[in-house]
Amino acid sequence: MWRNSTQHFGAVSILLHWLMALAIYGMFALGLWMVGLGYYDGWYHDAPEIHKGIGILLFAALLLRLGWRIISPPPKPLSSYSPAVRRGATAAHWMLYGLLIVLLFTGYLISTADGKPISVFGWFEVPALFSGAAQQADVAGDIHLWLAWGLVLFSALHALAALKHHLIDRDVTLKRMLGYRIPLTSEKEK
């Protein structure tokens, strides 16, 4: 139930998937909102601190998720998938992980450009290991913005692909990530 099986995702994978999806979209919205704040706005200092803290926790969740993939590999692809769909799905998942890793790293570079550690809600601090590079915050900020848009758009395509599997192909791709325990058959594995 907690671990993935050869046919179904387990509770840990499902929980990490949906919590991270919510966090990513929430962080995107928060990021867009906070860059428009004026200096005298009450959230001018608080919103970036929340964004940084959630970013560090999201990075920890990503490491947990990647570690969990090793401990509890994902289910086998459906037999109804063509070889191209199998390769595309694998490439898309690793692309999402890669975009998120680089996005989080650029956020770290922005946040530590002044040499100060990142406080995670007062629970602990993440030290500034890289700081002081010329225009570090500006360059990392530009990359961070483009990657954020790229991740959100690419993850939206990922969601559309899941809906395509559900509504057009009528297979159990989406249901597996929603936690349904469906006995699979060879006929489109309904």
167-176 pLDDT, tens digit each: 999 998 889 8
- Helix, strand, coil % in the chain, rounded to nearest 5: 60, 5, 35
pTM attached to this predicted model: 0.89
| Of 167, 106, 175, the residue nearest 139 (C-alpha) | 106
Question: Quick check: 70 and 122 in contact, CB under 8 A?
Answer: no
Residue 24 within a domain: yes
Structural domains in the chain (count): 1
Residue 186 within a domain: no
- The residue segments making up the domain with residue 22 are 11-107+134-177
Give the model's confidence band at 134: pLDDT under 50 very low, under 70 low, under 90 confident, else very high: confident
Question: Quick check: 177 and 147 in contact, CB under 8 A?
Answer: no
| Phi, psi for 120 (deg, rounded to 5) | -100, 85
Across 124-140, average pLDDT: 90
- Write the CB contacts of 26 (distance below 8 Å, at least 6 apart in sequence): 54
Distance, in Å, from the CA atom of 24 to the CA atom of 22, rounded to the nearest integer, reads: 6
Residue 64 within a domain: yes
Residue 44 within a domain: yes
Residue 154 within a domain: yes
Residue 100 within a domain: yes
Residue 27 within a domain: yes
pLDDT at 69: 95
Residue 182 within a domain: no
Please report, for the domain that includes residue 90, its CATH number. Answer: 1.20.950
How does pLDDT run across 22-70, given as a tens digit for each residue?
999 999 999 999 999 999 999 999 999 999 999 999 999 999 999 999 9
pLDDT at 43: 94
